[in-house]
Amino acid sequence: MSGGSVPVSGKGSESGVKRGKKEMDAVGEMVSSIRMLGEGFVKMEQMKMEMAKEMEQMRMEMEMKRTEMILESQQKIVEAFAQGICENKKLKRMPSPEQKMVEKE
């Protein structure tokens, strides 16, 4: 009862080794491809995170500039208001030319 599946000569065992080696090479290539794909995804995610970080930094800088502009304009408004009040008080204190003539008499 010699079975057809059992190799009789040494050649059958060599082809089994070659087939196993080819399968290992195919698995190794698959592993390598998956690893490269994973590394690509990691690199892409790192780039996305870096871009998000830069965008947030730019947004914060723009918000700071906007706040500074608002503060400067409010300061100018306060200064103009204060100057207007001071000038208004000076006008009330300074007698008109007509009042000067009345006071002289």
Asked whether residue 79 is assigned to any structural domain, the reply reads yes
Asked whether residue 92 is assigned to any structural domain, the reply reads yes
Asked whether residue 5 is assigned to any structural domain, the reply reads no
Asked whether residue 1 is assigned to any structural domain, the reply reads no
Does the pTM exceed 0.85? no
pLDDT at 10: 47
CA gap 79, 87 in Å, rounded: 12
Per the structure, the complete domain to which residue 19 belongs is given by 11-104
Digit-by-digit pLDDT tens for the chain (105 residues) are 444 444 544 455 556 666 677 777 889 999 999 999 999 999 999 999 999 999 999 999 999 999 999 999 999 999 999 998 888 777 666 666 666 666 665
Asked whether residue 6 is assigned to any structural domain, the reply reads no
Asked whether residue 3 is assigned to any structural domain, the reply reads no
